[in-house]
Amino acid sequence: MHAVILNSCLSFSLITESDETDSLALLQIKDSITDDPFGVMASWNETVQFCHWRGVTCGRRHQRITGLNLESLNLTGSISPHVGNLSFLRVLNLQNNSFSHEIPPEISRLHRLQDLLLNNNSLGGEIPSNLSACSQLLQIDLGHNSLVGRIPEELGTLSKLRILVIRYNNIRGSVPYSFRNLSTLEVLSASSNYLNGSIPDIFSQLTKLTEIRFADNSLSGMIPPSIFNLSSLIRFSLQLNEIQGLGSCIKVEKLYMQGNFFQETIPLSLASLRGIQELNLSRNNLSGKIPEFLESFQLLQSLNLSDNNFEGMVPTKGVFTNATATSVRGNSNLCWGPLEFHLPKCKFKQPKKGGLSLTLKVIISIGCALLGGTFAFTFLYHCCVRRDIKDDCSSGSEKFLRLSYQSLLKATDGFSSSNLIGVGSFGSVYKGSLDQGETTIAVKVLNLVHPGASKSFSAECEALKNIRHRNLVKVISACSGVDYHGHDFKALIYEYMVNGSLDEWLHQAPTVGETNESPRSLTFSQRLNIAIDVAMALDYLHHQCETPIVHCDLKPSNVLLNDDMIGHVGDFGLVRFLLKLPDSCSGNQSSSLGVKGTIGYTPPEYGMGNEVWTQGDVYSYGILLLELFTRRRPTDEIFQGSVNLHNFVKTALPYQVEQIVDPVLVEERGEGIISTDNNLNGDSTRAFINIQESLIAILEVGVACSAELPRERLDIRDALAEMCRIRSKL
């Protein structure tokens, strides 16, 4: 009897100790979260047993934590290393948040972990090599972060791994040869990184692979044949690389190879693609005739051969009978084909009878030789002297689509005024469509008559080729050449932002269907989130790039909004690189001025000839922040003499805020709309006070950033931290 009681006491003691370990680990995880806009962490307190806390799952038998799911809660902070103390954890799901800093190596202590989902955050650092200690892992998703370094060879020991996703990061190096041991792997996704070298021939043992995604990297060489011997492979995407050979394809259903370096003709080996459903070979250097075997692919639903050098007749059967499913545009030497393609008739040369005399043949030969020599000299001169026309954005580290002037002309309907969505100091922006309407783009055509346009193009190419952040507009391509009139042509192609610019939301007249009484407007929550998005972008440019970058032209029209109203900083035409950050506002800067910026947003010291540095961007951010919440431009007519937007707001703080902020915010607060927008709890009086205090705090940040003297301004990191703190209190 005593032994039974003793065993029971010991078991209870062990359970209690285990409970305390899990509970303390969760509280440490909570302490590492700096912003919790939905108040999720409020349930994590000692009045409730931790198994009932939001996002926590416990096992039935031992009441140990087996799952932690905090997906899509807009949480900000870091991942606490104490997560490694949750020794029974099988699922760690933190995707779709704003966690930053590094992935803690302590995760390697989670020997039962099966699913590691950290995608869509702002995590940096390298992928921990000791993740290989989590031998039960079935799924790893680290996509859409800012991870650097190489793919650890050690991951090749995860013998149970089914899904590995590392897309949209800054990972370099090659695909590890050790991956040949991942015999259970079904999905391998590493698109949009900086992978280079050839694809290793490691796939013969990976018989369960259904998807391989290596698009938007710098991979080169030939495609290893073992890939196409995989009977399970359904999707293989390799677009936007430097691949030179297609290899032999057999079982693939979806093959995306656009934007590579393929030469010569489509190989006969592709005739084995009997099960292919989607095939994209656009934007390569393929030539010769379009092979007739493509007509026989009965399951082929989409074929894109655009922007190559094909010639001759277009086949007329199979997928070619559907003009909406087939694209052959951008191949100027094609003829005939289905009527829907609107191609010219083929020209057949008829042999002529008779011949020329020997003397005439000699004269013609000499004339052709002289003419050819003149042409060769002219061509070499053109290539050497005017190399800048072609090579402005041709660095090997870049991964632009290869788009011709002709393809951009077609994408924008001839640069139609109906597609014009913006006009700037250096050019015009048009909305366009690629791949039969599947991809919407924004095309910035430089006005080369402007003396600074070419320099702006080069600066933007240099700035965008090595940076990537979720709050920076993504460049898709660059085009530099000549138009149909023989004039120089330069354009940058960006990801299209469906909700336009911040300037349009703040100041544009009502659009069609709106009235002057009820134009679209931004809520308090949207304005705060956009302000934080812009601050994150500047923090990345100033502090996280290898060479600090100064934007030099931050303003509402250069902040673009996607369909989720997330802010993206764009237009890098005036950027400057700092080889050495100044120790003070009067220190040695490495970047000469040479920029004008935009009146009202340019810091006063630039007007006095001072050199460019990061505090200039901070000033612009402060003005943008004040404009965002007052809806007054710094160039409004009310600002005359010594009265400017900065002093206008500073004088009103803290007791006259309601008189200067955008009236829409006052109405929103009064109607209680803002509480639903931020999931605020508590009575309306408390909510009213929260918003009042938040508005004052935000405007104080704007005033501190736009101080006249650079040394009195906040650093962008401090401004970002304060804005996040303000959001966390709502």
Q: What DSSP string runs through 251-273?
A: S-SEEE--SS---SSPPGGGGG-
Residue 548 C-alpha from the chain's centroid: 19
Give the contacts of 268 (CB within 8 A, at least 6 positions apart). Answer: 291, 293
Give the contacts of 456 (CB within 8 A, at least 6 positions apart). Answer: 426, 446, 573, 574
Distance, in Å, from the CA atom of 658 to the CA atom of 483, rounded to the nearest integer, reads 54
Residue 147, amino acid: L
3-class DSSP string for 37-104: CCCHHHHCCCCCCHHHCCCEEECCCCCCEEEEECCCCCCEEECCHHHHHCCCCCEEECCCCEEECECC
Q: What is the per-residue pLDDT for 688?
A: 57
Give the contacts of 376 (CB within 8 A, at least 6 positions apart). Answer: none
Would you state the structure tokens that stand for residue 393, as one six-digit string? 């954005």
Domains and CATH numbers, the chain: 90-341 (3.80.10.10), 387-496 (3.30.200.20), 502-728 (1.10.510.10)
Is 420:429 a contact under the CB 8 Å cutoff? yes
Residue 252, amino acid: V
Q: What is the per-residue pLDDT for 16?
A: 55
The HSE-up count of residue 635 (CA atoms within 13 Å, CB side) is 7
Q: At what angle do helices 614-630 and 716-728 cross, to 10 degrees?
A: 30
CB atoms within 10 A of CB 503: 18
Ordered mean pLDDT values, 10 residues apiece, the chain (730 residues): 45 54 92 90 88 91 91 91 94 93 95 95 93 96 93 95 94 92 94 90 88 88 80 82 66 78 76 82 87 88 89 89 86 84 72 46 43 38 35 41 78 85 77 77 79 64 70 82 78 87 80 48 91 91 82 89 89 60 38 61 77 86 95 86 86 86 78 44 54 88 92 89 83
Residue 308 C-alpha from the chain's centroid: 27
Percentage helix, strand, coil for the chain under 3-state DSSP, each rounded to 5: 35, 20, 50
Distance, in Å, from the CA atom of 414 to the CA atom of 432, rounded to the nearest integer, reads 10
Is 191:235 a contact under the CB 8 Å cutoff? no
Would you state the structure tokens that stand for residue 4, as one six-digit string? 């039974």
Would you state the structure tokens that stand for residue 203, as one six-digit string? 């796939």
Place of tokens 């416990």: 58
Angle of CA points 449, 455, 460, to nearest 5°: 120
Backbone phi, then psi, for 505, in 5-degree steps?
A: -70, -30
Place of tokens 């938040």: 694
Residue 400, amino acid: F
When computed from its CA atoms, the radius of gyration of the chain, rounded to whole angstroms, is: 30
User: Under DSSP, is residue 477 helix (H, G, I), strand (E, B) or coil?
Assistant: strand
Give the contacts of 312 (CB within 8 A, at least 6 positions apart). Answer: 288, 289, 290, 333, 334, 335, 346
Distance, in Å, from the CA atom of 704 to the CA atom of 713, rounded to the nearest integer, reads 6
Residue 398: C-alpha distances to residues 477, 574, 582 (Å)? 9, 20, 29
Maximum Cα–Cα distance across the chain: 126
The HSE-up count of residue 269 (CA atoms within 13 Å, CB side) is 13
List binding-site positions: 444
Q: Which one from 216, 539, 553, 617 is the annotated catalytic residue?
A: 553
Residue 295, amino acid: E
Is 325:303 a contact under the CB 8 Å cutoff? yes
Alpha helix locations (H) across 482-612?
Answer: 502-507, 524-539, 604-607
Q: Is 583 a catalytic residue?
A: no
Taking only the tens place, the pLDDT of each residue in 246-296 is 655 556 788 888 877 777 788 776 777 777 888 888 888 888 999 988 988
Would you state the structure tokens that stand for residue 40, as one six-digit string? 């999720």
Q: What is the per-residue pLDDT for 230?
A: 80
Place of tokens 């592709």: 270
List binding-site positions for ATP: 444
